Amino acid sequence: MKVESLTLREIQMPLVHFFETSFGRVYSRRILLVNVVADGVSGWGECVAGEDPFYSEEWIESAWATIKYYLVPALLAGKPEAGREVPLLFSRIRGHRMAKAGLENAVWDAEARQKQQPLWKLLGGTRREIACGVSIGIQDSVEQLLQKIETELAAGYRRIKIKVKPGWDLNVLEKVRSRWPDILLSVDANSAYTLDETEHLRRFDFFKLLMIEQPLWNDEIYLHARLQKMIETAICLDESIRHARDADFALETGACRIINVKVGRVGGFTEAMKVHDVAQRHGVPVWCGGMLESGIGRAHNLALSTLGNFRLPGDVSASRRYWKEDIIEPEVEVRSDGMITISDAPGTGYWVREDLIEKLTVRKEKF
């Protein structure tokens, strides 16, 4: 495999509905796409860095610059033969994992297409269908949230996750649980609490949640271990897990009982598989998180979710929940039983709509 060219693009896509977390609200996405051409075969990757450095340090401008000035030169000089060779080429560059993942995953995508193999098989996956949950942001009113939950349950989704923050938590859970006492329910705090609020966090136990995701600081593991000892609800770590060593540390110290794997957050498919394996060794389930991806990142999340230890419903849901029109064909669709069927076709099994991408592009640079 010979990488011949690389193209970076920024596309802009308005969300069907705004998405609000404890760190803010987004109405529209600025998405960085990577296209590699290797031996005449095209591979696509999505860098999931946000519009702002609020979820993590990375954001679209830092990712663009890092890719342009450091990662592209390293990739072109390194002449990788396969996706799994890419992390070593980037090892001198610290952090910037979402930027790295955008490139590495594009190489995996090209490799799968070139080998005429499904990407999920190349990654070592086995599942032929994926269980789906939804992540529902903070709304303007509790009534609006209840309506959304009702819609998603009717669509078949198997787990509801709601975003929480101080002032939008126990009061909301009370309403949700009294209406749906038995659904699989999680919350995600995106680091909205501190250890001083342990008494408050202990009250979440009453609602029999599947998990509480990232209650404390984004860069903390040990204090989550302290908290986990004091609450019954299983902690799931998202932001805190940057790589497989973090996962190992978190599981050895008892900081969580579940891990959310995001391929961008950990720097690409190779590291995501390592995190998956570490959790499996500890007997801990993982699930695939989302970052409001376009169809390209969404299709990659689906491929990753076919690995055996992805035992809980993920946040990878239908394209139509996010976009009026997605940039892949067909769009990602969820069956009425809340499952997504995994395609047997080579690559991701989805066609990239290059014509539409061209129309949505606001910035483009070719190397």
Look at residue 58 and give the partner it binds from Mg ion, ligand OSB, none, a contact being a CB closer than 5 to 8 Å depending on partner kind.
none
Q: Measuring CA to CA, which residue among 90, 91, 98 is closest to residue 71? A: 90
Helix, strand or coil for residue 66?
helix
160 binds ligand OSB (CB under 6 A): no
Q: Measuring CA to CA, which residue among 139, 193, 192 is closest to residue 162? A: 139
291 binds ligand OSB (CB under 6 A): yes
CA-CA-CA-CA dihedral for 314, 246, 170, 51, to nearest 10: -70
| Site track 330-349 with ligand OSB (rule: CB under 6 A), x = hit | --------------------
Which residue of the chain is nearest ligand OSB when measured via CB? 290
Q: Which is nearer to ligand OSB, 41 or 130 (CB)?
A: 130
CB-CB contact of 160 with 185 (8 Å): yes
How far from the centroid of its chain's Cα atoms is residue 353's Cα? 22
CA distance 265 to 286: 14
Q: Which is nearer to ligand OSB, 74 or 192 (CB)?
A: 192
Contacts to ligand OSB from residues 177-206, by CB under 6 A? 188, 190
CA-CA-CA-CA dihedral for 353, 358, 362, 363, to nearest 10: 100
Beta bridge partners of 235: 212
Angle between the N-to-C axes of helices 222-230 and 244-253, in degrees from 0 to 180, rounded to the nearest 10: 40
Tell me, what amino acid is at 206? F
Q: Which is nearer to ligand OSB, 55 or 157 (CB)?
A: 55
Look at residue 44 and give the partner it binds from ligand OSB, Mg ion, none, a contact being a CB closer than 5 to 8 Å depending on partner kind.
none
Give contact residues for Mg ion (rule: CB under 5 A). 188, 213, 238
What would the two tokens of residue 71 be? Answer: 């990662």
Q: Which is nearer to Mg ion, 152 or 213 (CB)?
A: 213
Q: Annotated catalytic sites, by residue? A: 163, 262
Contacts to ligand OSB from residues 196-255, by CB under 6 A? 238
55 binds ligand OSB (CB under 6 A): yes
Q: Which stretch binds ligand OSB (CB under 6 A): 105-113, 175-183, 200-208, 284-292?
A: 284-292
Tell me, what amino acid is at 205? D
Residues near ligand OSB (CB under 6 A) are 21, 55, 135, 188, 190, 238, 289-292, 315
